[in-house]
A and B are shown apart, each in its own frame.
Chain A
Amino acid sequence: MSVNTDRRRFLGGAAAAGVAASSMNLDVLKAESLSNELKKSGKRVLLLWLAGGASQLETWDPKPGRLTGGPYQAIQTSLPGVQISELMPKMATRLHNTAIIRSLNTQIGDHGGGARLMHLGRRDEPNLKYPDMGSVLARELGRPDLQVPDYVSFYTATEGRGNAVGQPGFLGARYAPMFLTTDNKPANLSRLEDITDLDHKERADLRDLLSNRFAKGRVSESLGSHNVAYGRVRGLMSSEKLFDLSDEPQKVKDRYGKSLFAQQALVARRLIEAGTPFVKVARAWWDSHGQNFETHLELVTELDHVMSTLLEDLEERGLLEDTLVVTLAEFGRTPTINASLGRDHFARAWSASLTGCGIKGGTVFGATDEDGQHVKDNEIGAAEMFATIYKAVGIDPHHEYFVGSRPIPLVDPGTHAVAEVLA
């Protein structure tokens, strides 16, 4: 699926999604955001989505000396006794800010199903459209006083793009992502040259007048969502410069590197710095059924550089304390190496990382067995992972929305955040 997020499509989508939300009867009064205090705290989340499924063995959970371990060695990190793949020498020096989770068992081993699970934190339900992580965080952390988008999602590769779920679900279109696919800048965000700024304002005023007259005496969630979406347009238009790297110092651009992933990570840092509460940068495609070690030599080398640069940059700007950086995928890869020297899909025992806001850096949670075939200690699933992310940025994962009279907790009931990795 290719979504060209320009202004008109944003509004069109907002209207359609508003109707959908309305039909689900989100009870706005009961479903208020957690608190204004939380919004004011400036917490943010940056998700590095490793689309297609990165290998845990070539990143966070190496198995040197085992037949499943592959050819790469493990190297010592800045944490005594903790090793990661030699493909990540830069991250190895700064692991003291990072928590590694080595015990994800998410069970779903197909791209579509796995990606939905790791975006929504739960399995789909036929009669209820859940919001994805980005929409929840946009709602809970987004600040109406800031004229920046609340949820920006980069996914440029075409493979697996349709799996990168960005859905506000019952929260309504106000929290839909700005989904960037073909360019690092939103298309058509600029005001048309033949319309003056005054014209643009007056058109908006006229639209408001007509809309308010129409809404008088009518009660509708979709109308509300539609008007809020229009109200945000001028804010989004003014944020265009955040996507333009031309004014970024050359030495900063050089530091990140020339790759598309690097450039998008830099734009993500700019958005985070400006107050965008959730940015997802998808790096596709890690699906290394053949030649896993060559593919990971390319992609992990890039990830190691971009991620370590991003974390350093955030830290130097004083942003890391309030920014949670997550690496996640739909699953990991099989410990067993196939005849094409590839690794296949594997959701039974894989890894993720959490760095920055709310995280106890320098921790490793969970463990797999000596061949990486099974989780040995502290198994967790998607719900626990989501609860941990929410908790790290100050959101109670047991907070409930109400769809009609039905309470919907942020994560499945009975699941808890991983306290061991939280600060």
Chain B
Amino acid sequence: MFQADPNNFRELRTTNRPDIILRMTRNDDTGEVFVGSSDAKVYQVDPMVEQPEFLAMEGHTSYVMGLVDTGQYIVSGSYDKSLIWWNKETKQQVRRIEMAHDRWIRNLTTTPDNKFVLSVADDMVCKIWDAETGDLVRTLDSHIKVTEHGFPNMLYAVAVSPDGKLIATVDRIAKIKLWDFETGKELKELEAPKCYTWDPKARIHSIGGIRSVTFSPDSTKIAVGGIGQIGNVDHLAAAGRVELFEVASGEKIHMFEGDDKHKGLVEQIIFHPSGKWLIAVGGDHGGWVQFLDVEKKEVVKQLKAPMHVHQMVVTADFKMAFGVGHNRLAVWSFEPEELMEEKTEEAGS
């Protein structure tokens, strides 16, 4: 099996775009890639080609903030509050749930078996949908809707544990809720308060929140990402921050923080299948990719990305990574450069 090494991670190419690409999904079986955009469209794209063509799927009226591949369908969620099921072949809408949430949809995920789609929105509920029928199965509702300072709370992200037993939801005020998937019962609440900055004096509003969440491959740990405490809330002026918790005890294992050259939000966290290290991506006006070693408890590598990265997907063999973000799509490789050169020569001979 290929052993991915962060030291070999490098950018292969980028594609410029006029829009902001916010979400991405890739089917490991078929290699199909779909992206969601600030222009309200979903696109199918092949990032492996030199000049990718973007095939538009129109139906939303605002930013596409959630995008998952259930195997049979692509499902997208938007700030327009709707969910759309798409036929991957015809690119046509199969189903549309107009008011899936009362407020803006922030993200989607699926269960490991792809039988359910989960959506989170600023109505502060997580909804579990039957991926096949679109039926609403359950609603998880206990995040507070208004902060103690009287402002709307925001529900940014959701994850399902690889064993399918747990759901995690994360919000603006840095609360993490763990739920039992089968019963919908809230199991515990964790928090990462440094990820939320409330400025009571200089500017009298807030910034931050937990923007990303994921479980370790063995479902025993949960990682959340955001940004540290900020002095000037006009800007994303603090280092990206990842906090790692033990699921069973709820104890915080470690906090990872990048250096001053890598400020901004952690938009997504991806565990390596070994569970020994993880990738954090995000940014402020610029973007970055960080590698965090769970055993050493340190940031082992940080590098600039060609844009603020909103989402990354890594192939199952961990040889390639694809990222989307501000005005760009990017492709990275974990394969050593000399190996890539050999492959190119073989292909040419």
B202, A340: Cβ atoms closer than 8 Å: no
Q: Mark B2-33, 1 if CB is under 8 A from A, else 0.
A: 00000000000000001110000000000000
A295, B62: Cβ atoms closer than 8 Å: no
CB neighbours (8 Å) of A71 from chain B are: 38, 62-63, 79, 104
B150, A340: Cβ atoms closer than 8 Å: no
CB neighbours (8 Å) of A295 from chain B are: 205, 207, 233
The listed residue (B151, B154, B202, B325) touching A302 by CB distance below 8 A is B151
Q: Mark A284-327, 1 if CB is under 8 A from B, else 0.
A: 11011111001101110110000000000000000000000000
Q: Nearest residue in B to A69 (C-beta to C-beta)?
A: B62
CB neighbours (8 Å) of A341 from chain B are: 20
B236, A291: Cβ atoms closer than 8 Å: yes
Task: Answer whether residue A64 sits at the interface, using C-beta atoms and an 8 A cutoff.
Answer: yes
The listed residue (B154, B264, B327) touching A340 by CB distance below 8 A is B264
Known: A289-B234, A290-B284. A299 touches B80 (CB 8 A): no
Task: Answer whether residue A156 sits at the interface, using C-beta atoms and an 8 A cutoff.
Answer: yes
Q: How far is the CB of B107 from chain A (nearest CB, A)?
A: 13
CA–CA, A289 and B234, complex, Å? 6
CB neighbours (8 Å) of B201 from chain A are: 157-158
Q: State the interface size on chain B (CB cutoff 8 A).
A: 43
CB neighbours (8 Å) of A299 from chain B are: 205
CB neighbours (8 Å) of B205 from chain A are: 285, 295, 298-299
CB neighbours (8 Å) of A72 from chain B are: 62, 79
Q: How far is the CB of A228 from chain B (nearest CB, A)?
A: 36
B308, A298: Cβ atoms closer than 8 Å: no
Which of the listed residues B40, B203, B264, B283 has the most CB atoms from chain A within 10 Å of its own CB? B203
Q: How far is the CB of B77 from chain A (nearest CB, A)?
A: 12
Which interface class (under 10, 10 to 19, 20 to 34, 35 or more) fits A?
Answer: 35 or more
Known: A157-B202, A284-B204. A298 touches B152 (CB 8 A): yes
A285, B203: Cβ atoms closer than 8 Å: yes
Which chain B residues (258-303) contact chain A, with CB distance < 8 Å?
Answer: 264, 283-287
CA–CA, A255 and B285, complex, Å? 40
Task: Answer whether residue B39 sits at the interface, using C-beta atoms and an 8 A cutoff.
Answer: yes
B20, A156: Cβ atoms closer than 8 Å: no
Q: How far is the CB of A286 from chain B (nearest CB, A)?
A: 9
26 A-B residue pairs with Cβ-Cβ distance under 8 Å, sorted by A, are: A52-B234, A64-B61, A65-B40, A67-B18, A67-B19, A67-B39, A71-B62, A71-B63, A71-B104, A73-B61, A156-B204, A157-B201, A157-B203, A158-B201, A159-B202, A258-B150, A287-B234, A289-B234, A291-B207, A295-B207, A297-B152, A298-B152, A339-B283, A339-B285, A340-B283, A340-B284
Contacts A259-B150, A297-B122 supplied; 6 other A-B pairs, CB < 8 Å: A52-B234, A285-B203, A299-B205, A338-B285, A339-B285, A339-B287
